[in-house]
Structure 1
Amino acid sequence: MQTELPRLYVYTVSELTRQIKAVIEGTFPPVWVEGEISDYVHHGALGHRYFTLKDGESRIRCVMWRWLADRLRFVPRDGLWVLAYGELTVYERGGRHQLMVSHLHPTGVGELWRSLEQLKQRLAEEGLFLEERKRPLPPFPERIGVVTSPDGAVIWDIAKVVARRAPWVEVVLCPVKVQGEGAAEEIASGIERINAHGEADLLIVGRGGGSAEDLWAFNEEVVVRAVARSRIPVISAVGHEVDVTLTDLAADRRAPTPSAAAEMAVPDRAELANWVCSLRGRLGDAIEGFIRDVEGQVAALRDAHPLRQVPDRMLQYSQEVDELRRRLGNALGYTMEGKSKELTALRGRLKALSPGAAMARGFSVVRKLPEGRLVKDVGELKPGDRVEVYFARGRVVCEVLYISKK
């Protein structure tokens, strides 16, 4: 005999889900949950983050809205152990409970570095860090590409050193993010763009110092592979001397600082001048030695027995030696004079194109205080703002009183 079940009220699926949502959200206060991230997704269009936290037995879906996730000081990834704080809620359309995360902190630093070591070992096995694949830097580059942030001090340090040591060298900036979400992809894309441009002789990739999390983009596989694929020799200048990233291992040369990278990249003009003087002396010595050898051969021929009866022939040889000495001396003088004039003209042209020369002609660089951001348009300022103005010699701090866009 079949038992008749009571039918007091029949819920729709939506009503039941809403009831469950009300119970869960009304019962549980915000909680801390520890687990391993998996199925991590960064929604490209909206910027929200979706992932699963799991341990050995269970898992729970999580969501972190963009305005909260953009504050993170690290890049979440699968396999990373974290401590998440948030509210339990129910996603009604999917009928599942989830944690709406407001704070996220890495707890598995050991796990993070273990993943880094695994990546390092895998790339090393592929030969990306071998010394024999590293290329020499060009001795006299004409154009240097720099992949870094446009707002930091790195590009200014590099440009200043290059202008002092080799003012004829052009510095081309490819601006990218150097930390945070999407930084690794931007850095890799910047390296590829400089290579595609095809006119740079040397590439510097780097940023200033920071924490391990700040520098983490330079440990990402996409950046390391972009450096290894580069047709242009690469100098890595990431952080300070104690900081070593996978990008440093894959680059052709590693510099302890961006300023040191610039010194590696270009020769010093004073050293070049000394080198040219040394070459001039060696060339003169070589010519003198050649003339002495010819004179010796002539003297030997003159003293030979079969030629003793033809002194007039010896006089002709002597005259030819004098003529050769005169012609070689003239050729050396004309060549050195011409090259000296070309070098002087080239220095003058390149000096006129340098950033320092532009500032000496009355141009200046303006940075907004207190953040020190470079001002590129008057629309970025408003009355009352404080700015720092750099001249060719010195700087001043000013307050904006009036703005005109004409």
Structure 2
Amino acid sequence: MTVKRARTVLAATVFAVLFAQVLLYPGVTDLVALWTDAPAGESLAETGLDAGKWFLAAEFAGFVLFAGAWGALSDALGRRVPLVTAGALGGALGYAALAGLALVDASFGTVLLVRFAQGALTIGAFSLAMTMLMDLDGGHGRNMGAAGIAIGLGTALGAPVGGRLADLDPIAPVVAAGALLVLPGLVVLLVEDRAPGGREGEGALAALSSLRARPALSLPYAFGFIDRLTAGFFALVGTVYLRSAFDLDATATGLLLGAFFAPFALLQYPMGVLSDRIGRKVPIALGSTLYGLVVVGVVLAPTVPLVAVLLVLTGVTGAFMSPATMALVTDLAAERDRGVAMGGYNVVGSFGFLVGIVGGGTLADAFGFTVAFVVVGLAEVVLAAAALPALSRVDPERVSVFDRGEKGESA
């Protein structure tokens, strides 16, 4: 299989995981009501965001705890394809189990345990598909741009489709998510495994130790954390805010969220290519600053059309920084530690998403939506300012940010 075709298949795998994940977000209020006593459509607002907060957080707890383990295992084995398949098919079973729990009198605690297991499995497919993109030739920004557009399209399409499905039946998005993950789990078997050979005599702990030997990775990790924190914040608090502030149903909420995700998706690839040409520093620093400011603007907008415009701007600025941040991970990672490096990036990113859900939900519950949006948006701005000196000292030659060629494009 050529590099281009492999890139397409792997990007499609990333897309499927994100699409399945986001299908559940617009209708999460109605979904958690199946296992709680709160009335459908009002559960999050009436329970202080608690039920939805923990339902979303359980999946990301699985992400946080297992992303690094999947990456370390793939580096130690020198193989990624069978692990991607295992993660995708295991995630599909997890979604199927959640759908089954809606048919019985299951406790919410049981639901959260299954949700955690589903997340622990799904992150294997997601993180290792991204790692396999790192293994390809053709430019790190280009490959991470492909990952970024897959992430963006998955979330862009998942929100409106999930909202429509949730209005038909709260459990429909869960069923669709499980069915969707089966296909990439099988198709990825056609992709050549380009992982460097396994390190004989070294296990997962030895692979993880190599991550600590590259402290420069803390830069993209820090930005990955805060970027995903805002994503987690929007997944829960943003969804509830839009539904409550403007009296929107799940379908309308999904369409409005699509105003962010559509430009975020469509601009990922060209922005990734741009970062190959100009380097990572400007997209990361400037993009993060503008992104944080626009996030604050969303909660201050008085009308739905103005919110939509600001969400579009959020998507544009997010696309400017996201592929550059992921590409910097590739620039800094040793070739044989890419699984660990991307696993570590997804660990901190998933932890950020978790903080965005739990912390954002708690903040909004205690102080209101406006305070929550302002705190989260300004956190992005503060990080960009604080990290700028360290980011400016990154040696472009050492991290190979100017790999512009098409080497292996037709291999």
- Is the structural similarity TM-score above 0.5? no
More helix by share: 2
| TM-score computed with the length of structure 2 as normaliser | 0.20
Task: Work out which of the two has the higher radius of gyration on C-alpha atoms and give 1 or 2.
Answer: 1
